[in-house]
Structure 1
Amino acid sequence: MRLFTFWDGDKYALGVKTKQGSLHVDSTGESHGFDSTDIMAIIKEGEEAVIRLRQWVESLDNARWLDESALEYGPCVTEPGKIIGVGLNYRKHAEETNAAIPTSPILFSKFSNTLSGHGERIIIPLETEKLDYEAELAIVIGKRAKDVSKEEALGYVFGYCPANDLSARDLQLKTSQWLLGKSCDGFCPLGPYVTTADEVGDPNQLAITSIVNGEVRQNSHTSDMIFHCNEIISYISHHMTLEPGDVILTGTPEGVVLGFPPERQIYLKEGDSVTVEIENLGAITNSFIKDNSFVSMKSQT
């Protein structure tokens, strides 16, 4: 099942993407025994909520279909307690940046201010001249995970979604800590959908691409991860407790601007558009502006 959030007036609403189109999970759901319209509530309740939601979708006679072209999407996970990134987790990406192959996962943090949705225009901070894209598979945790084994780890996943780990390289590499370059406003587009784990199968068997202004820049496969998804979840859970709704960004493949020779490094600029697409999960597209007076589409309506 594919779930998403969108702006309904001044608040987020819950949607379900089906083969026939997109549904608004609104108050009509109550008569079908389903009364939650909060993506975080669905994630925290887990499998039972997803089963109930599926039954609701299947029972609808007069569905409230949405005009997808008119939607203003929110991030598909709206309130993660933690956003944890994994650096240099694709072998070819480590090689293109002349970095040593990690022997343990390299972890860093993003925060809730970085969240953005499909179609959102992201402001390029005035402090950077080197904004880079990073296509990533995001894991959404569905159950509390502490000291879990690699063999059990995928059982703690609610679902997966495309993400763009936007990185201001000049800020990222200004010090030995990456946080500043990773945590500017809007730097973690998630979505459009979170696809439940039962419909994904092996997360390390998915094609992953990024497209910048119509040009394919990254064209890889999650099997190239140095630490696979189950290893990442297990590793993190042995150091901190993972909670439902936590998001893990699993690293990016080769093809980022930072990996090009200096003479070919053309970073993102105002007017550019980046799409991150992952097999069976969908594609998220964002454009970029350099205008601190920008007002969101939601506030203009």
Structure 2
Amino acid sequence: MRIARFVVDSDPLYGVVEDQKVHVLAGDPFFQGIKPTGQSHELDDVRLVAPIIPRSKVVAFGRTYRKHAEELGNQVPAEPIMFLKPNTSVVGHNEPVTLPSFSDEISFEGELAVVIGRICKDVPAEKVPEVVFGYTAANDLTARDAQRTDLQWGRAKGFDGSCPLGPWIETELDDPDNVGIVTRLNGQVRQDGGTNELIWSVNELVARASEAFTLLPGDVILTGTPAGVGEVREGESIEIEIEGIGTLRSVFRR
């Protein structure tokens, strides 16, 4: 099932995407369940927005793919590197991203994102599916120059618009550890990998996040990016296609 958050006229709504239509839900499915209203819209007639604005946090992991660590000249860490992105970093499908004035080196990173469905803490890896609401595509935009100079990654990874999510949440993904990730810059393939290359499994990463933080409904976990990252500039576009989910598109401006 694909759960979208969208706008008709001015009010954001939730809906189920099926057969190029979006069927409106009553209220927030994270707290009220899947309750169709009987109303529907053509998908092309609505504006998709971020499928979730985390009430709490985005927990992200870095250097979880060996080849990506190597392409940036980094060693593979003994433990996954964990950092936070604020909810103000989140934007939706096709929404413009304003490149930050403090950086001249913004890099794209296509990733599988996990959306948490209920409050949880210290979840064993084998029980992670019980706390997952679904999955979506993410772009962990990074100011590489700030990442190199700052002692921590808050500014480099957390600027406004640095976490595009979408286009919707897929609640049923057969095997999160075996989905393809393709990133295109202006239509040209730059990343072509998949979660089968992860050093730690998706469930292990969510379990690690739950060791450090109480996870709340709507929290998002970014699982890291495969090799092939590169810079994006004003006027360019990025498409991140994740097998079994869909394609997230972002455009960039100054």
Which category describes the TM-score, using the shorter chain as reference length?
A: over 0.9
Runs of 4+ in 1 over 6 A off after TM superposition: none
Inter-partner Cα distance in structure 2 for 1:164 and 1:236: 19
Which digits, 9 at most, give the CA deviation of each residue in 1:199-230, with x for residues without a partner? Answer: 20220110001000011000001011111111
Match of 2:217 among 240, 244, 258: 244
Which digits, 9 at most, give the CA deviation of each residue in 1:179-207, with x for residues without a partner? Answer: 101111111111111011xx202201100
* 1:289 Cα deviation from its structure 2 partner: 0.8
Which digits, 9 at most, give the CA deviation of each residue in 1:223-274, with x for residues without a partner? Answer: 11111111111112122211111100110100012xxxxxxxxx21111000
1:258-269 matches, within 5 Å, as 267-269=231-233
* 1:80 Cα deviation from its structure 2 partner: 3.4
1:20-35 matches, within 5 Å, as 20-25=19-24
CA RMSD of superposed structures (Å): 1.6
Q: How high is the TM-score relative to the length of structure 2?
A: 0.94
What is the match of residue 227 of structure 2? 254
Higher strand fraction: Structure 1 or Structure 2?
2
Higher helix fraction: Structure 1 or Structure 2?
1
1:198-213 matches, within 5 Å, as 199-213=172-186
What is the match of residue 217 of structure 1? 190
Q: 5+ residue gaps in structure 2?
A: none
* 1:163 Cα deviation from its structure 2 partner: 0.5
Which digits, 9 at most, give the CA deviation of each residue in 1:166-187, with x for residues without a partner? Answer: 1111122221211101111111
Equivalences, count: 254
Contact 2:59 2:209 (C-alpha < 8 Å) held by counterparts: no
Alignment partner of 1:172 is 2:139: no
Contact 2:17 2:23 (C-alpha < 8 Å) held by counterparts: no
> Percentage identity across aligned positions?
38
Which has more radius of gyration?
Answer: 1
Inter-partner Cα distance in structure 1 for 2:112 and 2:222: 6
What is the match of residue 192 of structure 1? 167
What is the match of residue 43 of structure 1? 30
What is the match of residue 260 of structure 1? none
Inter-partner Cα distance in structure 2 for 1:80 and 1:223: 30
Contact 1:44 1:245 (C-alpha < 8 Å) held by counterparts: no
Inter-partner Cα distance in structure 2 for 1:234 and 1:125: 32
Q: What letter matches 1:161 in structure 2?
A: T
Inter-partner Cα distance in structure 2 for 1:85 and 1:233: 10
Inter-partner Cα distance in structure 1 for 2:108 and 2:205: 22
* 1:90 Cα deviation from its structure 2 partner: 0.9
Contact 1:7 1:72 (C-alpha < 8 Å) held by counterparts: yes
Which digits, 9 at most, give the CA deviation of each residue in 1:71-104, with x for residues without a partner? Answer: 3221011233110110111111112122111111
Q: How high is the TM-score relative to the length of structure 1?
A: 0.80
Q: 5+ residue gaps in structure 1?
A: 27-35, 258-266, 291-301
Q: What letter matches 1:69 in structure 2?
A: D
What is the match of residue 74 of structure 2? 99
